[in-house]
Homo-oligomer: A and B are copies of this chain.
Amino acid sequence: MQTYPKKRVEIFIEAPVLNRLLQFLSDQDVTGYTVLPALAGRGDSDRVWSREGQVGDAGRMVAIVMIIDEAKLDTLFDRLYAMVARQIGIIAVSDCTVVRGERF
């Protein structure tokens, strides 16, 4: 089956700004993303966090996975990065392939 190369963008971002980030993605006409929960983590700043027993959103992370066309990613990456860098968050980009190339 014919497949097409795309980018898999994985963003770990603090939960309180999730909605803003998703709004940003919608504004950029991103064709799709999925938000995954995260349980716990540890970062550069030596902060350890865990979702257990927490009521509030501050201090916890969520993950966003987004399969996207490279050209499209290029047009929005700088602004996306600026937004994530201001907050607690990281972005990692890797390669992947999909079937319906035009869909992403």
Q: Which residues of A contact B (CB under 8 A)?
A: 1, 3, 6, 8, 10, 12, 22, 25-26, 30-44, 61-63, 65, 67, 77-78, 81, 85, 90-100, 103
**Residues of the B chain whose Cβ atoms lie less than 8 Å from the Cβ of A62:** 39
Closest 7 CB pairs of A and B: A94-B96, A34-B41, A92-B96, A35-B40, A35-B39, A32-B43, A67-B92
How far is it, in angstroms, between the C-alpha of A42 and the C-alpha of B91 when the chains are bound? 19
The smallest beta-carbon distance between A19 and chain B, in angstroms, is: 10
Majority-rule SS of A interface residues: strand
A-B contacts, 9 of them at CB < 8 A, read A10-B65, A25-B42, A32-B44, A34-B61, A44-B103, A67-B92, A85-B100, A90-B98, A92-B98
